[in-house]
Amino acid sequence: MRRSLTFIQCVVWKDGLNKSLSYIFPEVPDGLDAGALDLARIPQHVAVIMDGNGRWAKKRMMNRLRGHNAGIEAVRETIRCASDLGVRYLTIYSFSTENWKRPQDEVDGLMELFAKTMLAEVDGLHEEGVRVMTIGDLSPLPPETREAFEAAWRKTRGNDGMTLVVAVNYGSRDEIVHAFKEYMREAEDAAQAGEDAPELTEEVLASHLYTANVPDPEVVIRTSGEMRLSNFLLWQAAYSEFVCTDVLWPDFDRYEFLRCLLEYQSRERRFGGV
């Protein structure tokens, strides 16, 4: 059974909230209170490890690609809800550097799905003011998949709404190695010019990461009950809060997103202090 928000909850507008709470959460399940959400503490950056598509499909005697297709609606729902709540950055872990080890038909199907989905969704994202960017190495992707992501970036890069960061062919260890190589190249260029190389600091190395202009996530959400990072944002998540849910990704909706945000807001972030 679901219930609607009260009038008081419907008219709350604060900070970056782009829609009323009654619009974002029209039928709140029993036991969940959207009014408990502290709008002044909406995280600036939410990162999501989308897990469970294969298990969702297996439970329904379907092939894994059917699960990946079903997960697209959860992506749409999460993007829409995060943007409406005023989240500034949403990073979704779409395809890791390790995912190439999966069966070839699944990899091929995912690449086709990425291209079709990006092409189908980009106009709507653009109308909502969402900016689309990718992190990871796009060069090994099939040309049509790579072009779909690049076209989305070109179309939306001037938008000033939420930034959707799609991690595709992304691995955090590779990212850190890439950043260090970029720093070494910068140092070599400085030496050849007779200049001092910049001191290697956390800030300098971070400036060479794929996420150089993106703030670190305050919260990392992982679905399907798994509790590991899986080579995702190892550097950036140093002080992120982790929220894990047993819900499989295709079943993840705005109300589960709300539960995750409420769990995040229940934590006291100390950053190593007391």
Query: Which one of the listed residues 51, 53, 84, 169 is annotated catalytic?
Result: 51
Higher pLDDT residue, 99 or 3?
99
* pLDDT for 214: 98
Query: Which one of the listed residues 69, 99, 159, 231 is annotated catalytic?
Result: 99
pLDDT at 10 over 70: no
Higher pLDDT residue, 160 or 15?
160
**Measuring CA to CA, which residue among 216, 210, 236, 163 is closest to residue 16?**
163
Look over the chain and give the mean of its residue pLDDT values, rounded to a whole number: 93
How far, in Å, CA of 134 to CA of 166, rounded? Answer: 5
Can 213 be counted among the known catalytic residues?
no
- How does pLDDT run across 189-245, given as a tens digit for each residue? 999 999 998 899 999 999 999 999 999 999 999 999 999 999 999 999 999 999 999
How far, in Å, CA of 205 to CA of 180, rounded? Answer: 7
How far, in Å, CA of 64 to CA of 270, rounded? Answer: 41
**Measuring CA to CA, which residue among 133, 136, 126, 119 is closest to residue 176?**
136
DSSP character string of 62-99: --HHHHHHHHHHHHHHHHHHHHHHT-SEEEEEEEEGGG
Quote the tokens at residue 180.
């260090």
Residue 83: count of CB within 10 angstroms of its CB: 23
Can 51 be counted among the known catalytic residues?
yes
Contact criterion met (CB below 8 Å) for 241 and 220: yes
Region 120-134 average pLDDT: 97
CA 103 to chain centre: 25
Quote the tokens at residue 155.
């179309």
* pLDDT for 91: 98
* pLDDT for 16: 66
**Measuring CA to CA, which residue among 137, 212, 127 is closest to residue 161?**
127
pLDDT at 13 over 80: no
Single pTM value for the model: 0.92
- How does pLDDT run across 22-53, given as a tens digit for each residue? 899 999 999 999 999 999 999 999 999 999 99
Q: HSE on the CB side for 222, CA within 13 Å?
A: 14
